[in-house]
């Protein structure tokens, strides 16, 4: 495939799937996404996600690691990288009284990366950031009869970024991502009285639209410590960010139950009010040790200051969060394999995290086990041997049944196509 054909195909692919991504947020129905800015979508390339989400010390010349922008300097000087990813999730919700299942699928990321100069690399792409998707009902018995509370919401935040990375000597790289966050989160709360035909129900609806820019920064140290072993150490920093937007607030009374609603009166209305959404200050630190082309192991630690952030009119308490990740990759014989199975990448990892959500004085935690494969593409239409199909899966749990809380068991599936194309090379024959 010539470069012009590839460029045209990449642009069409990017526009098509970006349009599709803006229409639907990723994520199955999750009651925990009701709070704050929604449930954070675990972001990065499928290779990273398959290794327990390690990212900060990770470098690769055929994968785009936007979790640490300093890693962009690992791109080859004559390469162009493009990656499109798809995500599917299945969620099982359990309480002491009931259980429920839901699922969803969508585009997970669209990334590009290429060199500018020998010491300068760049990347840009589209990535979902948070997802809001829930429907919750609660029946309360009072002296006046039953009262039914209905909560529902959808939407979330997306992110388009452009990142740059510079080499500082032989061993250090620094990088920055300029992120444009945008999206709308819709929340509806209804209160109904099933035992009374005279009492009017009420509906509170508020929509928050966000559109603003924020930055995050990265640093990496990378050096061979023996002839074949390389050490990578990475760190990231994201300052506390105040994203501005608009809020619409509407309160109405109505008669009817469930899907049959007859609105009676507007109690309150506020349009285009300013709304501020805060994203927390955060730090990340990680390291990797690898034998090039054979194996890699890595560990990550991340901390975020959620306790001192506010999200529009969210009054629920939040706590600082941390996560620990461990993962690795093994390739039996990348260069001289006799069979296809020997060229495949085998990945495994695990992670543990404390989320910012606090209910009944208990902070919600999360645990996941990940695994995946890197499948080399050996077709006739792609130049080079570094293009791959990556598949990954995560099995995990969030929450607990203690103190009458909610436990979630999730299965996340990831699939991506990573295209490595030679650029900036003069052809002797056409």
Of 42, 54, 62, nearest to 349 by C-alpha is 54
- State percent of the chain over pLDDT 70: 85
Encoded tokens for 102: 């839901």
The pLDDT of residue 264 is 84
**pLDDT tens across 34-80, in order?**
676 777 776 788 999 999 999 999 999 889 999 999 999 999 888 88
The pLDDT of residue 386 is 78
- State percent of the chain over pLDDT 90: 40
CB 58 within 8 A of CB 87: no
Per-residue confidence band for 153, with pLDDT thresholds at 50, 70 and 90: confident
Per-residue confidence band for 381, with pLDDT thresholds at 50, 70 and 90: very low
Q: Which residue has the higher pLDDT, 354 or 101?
A: 354
Of 308, 184, 301, 182, nearest to 239 by C-alpha is 308
Distance of alpha carbon 233 from the chain centroid: 23
Mean pLDDT, residues 416-428: 71
The pLDDT of residue 424 is 56
CATH 2.40.160.60 holds for 3-422: yes
Q: What are phi and psi of 21, to 5 degrees?
A: -70, -35
CB 393 within 8 A of CB 412: yes
pLDDT at residue 17 greater than cutoff 60: no
Choice among 96-100, 223-227, 407-411 with the minimum mean pLDDT: 96-100
Buried b / exposed e over 265-285, threshold 16 CB at 10 Å, is: eeeeeeeeeebebbbbbbebe
Per-residue confidence band for 146, with pLDDT thresholds at 50, 70 and 90: confident
pLDDT at residue 216 greater than cutoff 90: yes
Choice among 81-95, 135-149, 186-200, 237-251 with the minimum mean pLDDT: 135-149
One-character DSSP codes across 176-211: EEEEEEEEEEEEEEEEE-TT-SSSPEEEEEEEEEEE
pLDDT at residue 122 greater than cutoff 90: yes
Per-residue confidence band for 1, with pLDDT thresholds at 50, 70 and 90: very low
Per-residue confidence band for 382, with pLDDT thresholds at 50, 70 and 90: very low
The pLDDT of residue 8 is 47
Task: Report the C-alpha gap between 83 and 129 in whole angstroms.
Answer: 17
Mean pLDDT, residues 120-133: 89
Buried b / exposed e over 100-127, threshold 16 CB at 10 Å, is: eebebbbbbbbbbbbbeeeeebbbbbbb
Q: Where are the domains of the chain?
A: 3-422
Largest CA distance in the chain: 88
The pLDDT of residue 27 is 55
Q: Which residue has the higher pLDDT, 419 or 395?
A: 395
Task: Report the C-alpha gap between 382 and 344 in whole angstroms.
Answer: 18
The pLDDT of residue 16 is 52
Encoded tokens for 49: 């996600």
Of 30-39, 151-160, 162-171, give the range with the top mean pLDDT: 162-171
Give the chain's mean pLDDT: 83
The pLDDT of residue 427 is 53
The pLDDT of residue 406 is 80
**pLDDT tens across 75-96, in order?**
988 888 999 998 888 888 887 7
**pLDDT tens across 263-284, in order?**
888 888 888 777 778 888 999 9
The pLDDT of residue 350 is 96
CB 45 within 8 A of CB 65: yes
The pLDDT of residue 313 is 55
Per-residue confidence band for 384, with pLDDT thresholds at 50, 70 and 90: very low
Encoded tokens for 88: 């599917």
Q: Which residue has the higher pLDDT, 65 or 33?
A: 65
Report which DSSP code applies to 318. Answer: B
Task: Report the C-alpha gap between 279 and 2 in whole angstroms.
Answer: 43
Give the helix, strand, coil percentages of the chain, each rounded to 5.
10, 60, 30
342 CB neighbour count, 10 Å cutoff:
13
pLDDT at residue 33 greater than cutoff 90: no
């Amino acid at each position: 495939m010539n470069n012009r054909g590839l460029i045209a195909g990449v642009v069409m692919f990017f526009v098509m799937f970006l349009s599709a991504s803006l229409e639907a947020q990723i994520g199955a129905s999750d009651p925990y996404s009701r709070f704050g800015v929604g449930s954070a979508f675990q972001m990065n390339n499928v290779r990273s996600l398959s290794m327990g989400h390690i990212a900060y010390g990770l470098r690769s010349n055929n994968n785009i690691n936007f979790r640490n922008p300093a890693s962009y300097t690992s791109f080859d000087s004559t390469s162009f990288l493009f990656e499109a990813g798809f995500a599917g999730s299945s969620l099982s919700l359990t309480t002491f009284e009931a259980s429920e299942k839901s699922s969803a699928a969508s585009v997970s990321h669209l990334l590009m990366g290429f060199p500018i100069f020998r010491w300068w690399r760049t990347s840009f792409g589209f990535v979902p950031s948070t997802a809001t998707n829930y429907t919750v009902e609660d029946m309360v018995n009072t002296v006046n009869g039953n009262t039914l509370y209905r909560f529902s919401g959808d939407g979330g935040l997306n992110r388009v970024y452009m990142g740059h990375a510079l080499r500082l000597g032989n061993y250090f790289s620094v990088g920055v991502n300029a992120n444009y966050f945008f999206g709308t989160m819709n929340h509806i709360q209804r209160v109904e009285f099933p035992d009374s035909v005279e009492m009017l129900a009420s509906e509170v609806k508020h929509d928050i639209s966000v559109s603003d820019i924020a930055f995050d920064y990265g640093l990496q140290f990378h050096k061979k410590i023996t002839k074949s072993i390389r050490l990578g150490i990475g760190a990231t920093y994201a300052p506390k960010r105040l994203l501005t937007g608009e809020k619409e607030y509407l309160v109405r009374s109505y008669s009817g139950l469930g899907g049959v609603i007859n609105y009676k009166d507007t109690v309150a209305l506020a349009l285009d009010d300013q709304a501020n959404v805060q994203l927390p200050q955060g730090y990340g630190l990680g390291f990797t040790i690898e034998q090039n082309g054979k194996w890699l192991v890595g560990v990550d630690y991340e901390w975020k200051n959620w306790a001192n952030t506010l999200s529009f009119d969210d009054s629920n308490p939040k706590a600082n969060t941390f996560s620990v990740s461990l993962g690795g990759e093994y390739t039996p014989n990348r260069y001289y394999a006799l069979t296809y199975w020997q060229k495949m990448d085998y990945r495994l990892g695990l992670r543990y995290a404390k989320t910012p959500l606090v209910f009944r004085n208990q902070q919600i935690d999360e645990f996941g086990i990940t695994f995946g494969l890197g499948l080399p593409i050996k077709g006739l239409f792609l130049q080079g041997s570094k293009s791959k199909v990556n598949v990954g899966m995560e099995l995990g749990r969030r929450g607990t049944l203690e103190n009458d809380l909610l436990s979630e068991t999730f299965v996340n599936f990831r699939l991506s196509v990573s295209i490595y194309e030679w650029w900036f090379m003069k052809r002797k024959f056409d």
